[in-house]
Structure 1
Amino acid sequence: MLEFLTKESFKEKVFNFEENKEWKYEGDKPALIDFYADWCGPCKMVAPVLEELQEEYGDKIVIYKIDTEQEQELAGMFGIQSIPSLLFVPTEGQPQMAMGALPKATFEKAISDVLKVEKPEA
């Protein structure tokens, strides 16, 4: 089950932007954050893919969802202008944003390249 973030849980688990000016990831495993809205068709196409990825990667990565309608401050902070937008957050280094409903293989490549996590063997 994917975890939905609010501004408060985002500050605890991802980035406390009220205390830190520079990016500092609060989590202990790589994350993928889906910025979405309920009315967005492509977001609905991405949702089951993200569920599958969370199941397949298990506890190697964590996948969060942020509702851009509810959490406009967070969406604004990342300059989200089109959804879905997906933020790949490695444990070290800067996060990278990807836009649009990506195919599963593209997610897997980004998880490997950006998050440095290989898919576990089934």
Structure 2
Amino acid sequence: MRELENLARRLAALYPQDVITGSVIDGELAPPAVTSGGNAHHSIDNLGGAVEAYLSSHFSGFPNGVPPPGLYHRILKEIEVPLLTAALAATRGNQIRAADLLGLNRNTLRKKIRDLDIQVYRSGN
């Protein structure tokens, strides 16, 4: 049930159009592309390679091989959430330190946290 809920949220966030086609859903449900070495975890070491593999798989999920407009912001949003979450976890929820780690202004980080609805859990030292 949780996976279905996550899929619905992901689709709503990534595809602003009124109708989401079956091919879009199939593309989101498809397993990650395996790299040429046959090891799916190989690309994790290379972010550029992982993104390239993801985009290739993503594009192929559309009838004409081209996703709907707004791809740039959908992909950035998808990358920002785990990036900001990891920075916040590494700094135990300290937003000033997380902003410094990311090279962002603290107010920019706080706005992104709000806009992306990221939960911040502050823990002690």
Structure 1 or 2: more strand by fraction: 1
**Quick one: higher RCO (CA 8 Å, sep 6+), 1 or 2?**
1
Is TM more than 0.5 here? no
Structure 1 or 2: more helix by fraction: 2
Larger Rg: 2
